[in-house]
Amino acid sequence: MRQGWNYRLTEWQGAILLAQLPRLDEHWQRRHANATRLAKELREIPGIQPLTGNARVTRHAWHIFIFRHTPAARDRMSRDRFVEALQAEGNPCSPGYIALTQSPALRDGLARLRPYLPNASEPRPCPVAEWLSTQEAVWLS
């Protein structure tokens, strides 16, 4: 069995959030402007490719800024070494999550269901997502 998390808000957290709600638009506008500027600047660095937005999305929370550390950048330094260097300079970043298809929680859950669902199979490979999550993704928090 895996440990889960309880992310329900406390009453105190709810009160703080309600008090801040009127400032939501102001905060979003600042985050959007910062993300736009950061993406513009990062595009100038060979091998760094910010993610492009989906036209169907009307607002992005920008709680995480994700970019790709592409092969052109890996010629100079591996993605993991690049993340370590950013962190050493005080930049809050990480290589992100593993692809869902490689998640131990998903694999363990499917294994527990097999006695009841004989047709439950291993997750199908998603080579692009798996490649991005292990080789290219960099998340700024």
Q: Please answer whether residues 107 and 120 qualify as being in contact, where contact means their C-beta atoms are separated by less than 8 angstroms.
A: no
37 inside domain: yes
Ramachandran class of 62: left when φ > 0, alpha when ψ lies in -120 to 50, beta otherwise = left
Per DSSP, the three-state class of 87 is: helix
Average pLDDT over residues 9-34: 95
The CA distance from 113 to 68, in Å, is 36
**Does a structural domain hold residue 5?**
no
Decide if 77 is inside a domain: yes
- Return the closest-CA partner of residue 45 out of 78, 60, 67: 67
Distance of CA 33 to the CA centre of its chain: 19
CATH number at residue 123: 3.90.1150.10
Question: Where are the alpha helices (H) located in 1-141, listed in sequence order?
Answer: 11-20, 24-42, 71-74, 79-88, 104-113, 127-131
| In a domain? residue 3 | no
Answer whether residue 4 is part of any domain.
Answer: no
pLDDT at 71: 87
CA atoms of 104 and 123, how far apart (whole Å):
11
Q: Domain span at residue 131?
A: 11-140
* Lowest-pLDDT choice from 1-10, 21-30, 68-77, 97-106: 1-10
Query: What pTM, to 2 d.p., does this model score?
Result: 0.78
Q: What is the pLDDT of residues 66-119, one digit of tens each?
A: 999 998 888 889 999 999 999 999 999 999 888 888 888 888 888 888 888 777
Q: How far is CA 51 from the centre of its chain?
A: 11
Structural domain total, the chain: 1
Residue 6 lies in a domain: no
Whether 114 is in a domain gets the answer yes
Task: Indicate whether 122 belongs to any domain.
Answer: yes
Between strands 93-94 and 48-50, the pairing is unpaired
